[in-house]
Amino acid sequence: MKSVPVAAVSIPPPDKKTIYPHPFASRIAGRTKQRLGDHFGLTNFGVNLTELAPGAISALPHHHSKQDEFVYIIQGTATLVLGEEDYALQPGDCVGFKAGDSIAHQLINRSGEPVIYLEIGDRTEGDETSYPHDDLQARFANGAWQFHHKDGRPY
């Protein structure tokens, strides 16, 4: 695959809005991701240009065992929910989430305008994602996320 520059906004979002299983998928309504890294065939890490409509959330509150994550706000005001704390993020603000940190995080658009940000994360095999407020756990294996209940039953 030859890498040539493109306008990020020209990369179409995937057909499937989320990888979350039912009943969690509907909670991500209002979030759109353009998988910039996938467009270029990147496999070691992902880069997404993500837009949150007013009232939308980035993800269910979660934390990773092996994946580092990084977020950079481009437009709008996002609220970072980090454990029990809320932080307002403005354009130019950034935050990183170290693998193994057990504090759950998510972004919420509590404003009346869209929020646009870059999210970057690695794709470490065997990463486990915990969702402390939901009956959901995930594991990254063989290049894909596998979701199951906290008691181990698959979705």
**50-63 residues labelled b (16+ CB within 10 A) or e (exposed):** bbbeeebbbbbbbb
Count of structural domains, the chain:
1
> Mean pLDDT over residues 46-72, rounded?
97
Please check the confidence at residue 1 and state whether its pLDDT lies above 60. Answer: no
Residue 145 lies in a domain: no
Q: What is the full DSSP assignment across the chain?
A: -------GGGSPPPSSS--PPTTTGGGGTTEEEEEHHHHTT--SEEEEEEEE-TT-BSSSSBEESS--EEEEEEES-EEEEETTEEEEE-TT-EEEE-TT----EEEE--SSS-EEEEEEEE--TT-EEEETTTTEEEEEETTEEEEE-TTS-B-
Q: Print the domain residue range for 43.
A: 19-127
> Mean pLDDT over residues 57-69, rounded?
97
Percent of the chain scoring above 70 in pLDDT:
99
Residue 31 lies in a domain: yes
For position 143, what pLDDT does the model report?
87
Per-residue pLDDT reduced to its tens digit, 72-112: 999 999 999 999 999 999 999 999 999 999 999 999 999 99
Interacting residues of 85 by C-beta distance below 8 A, sequence separation 6+: none
> Mean pLDDT over residues 116-133, rounded?
96
For position 119, what pLDDT does the model report?
98
Residue 121 lies in a domain: yes
Residue 85 lies in a domain: yes
> Mean pLDDT over residues 63-78, rounded?
98
Beta pairing class for 85-89 and 78-82: antiparallel
Residue 58 lies in a domain: yes
Residue 68 lies in a domain: yes
For position 15, what pLDDT does the model report?
86
CATH number of residue 104's parent domain: 2.60.120.10
Residue 81 lies in a domain: yes
Query: Rg of the chain's alpha carbons, rounded to an integer?
Result: 15
Residue 16: band (very low, low, confident or very high) from pLDDT cuts 50, 70, 90: confident
For position 53, what pLDDT does the model report?
98
For position 85, what pLDDT does the model report?
97
Residue 14 lies in a domain: no
> Do residues 89 and 118 lie in contact, with contact meaning Cβ atoms separated by under 8 Å?
no
Mean pLDDT taken over the chain: 95
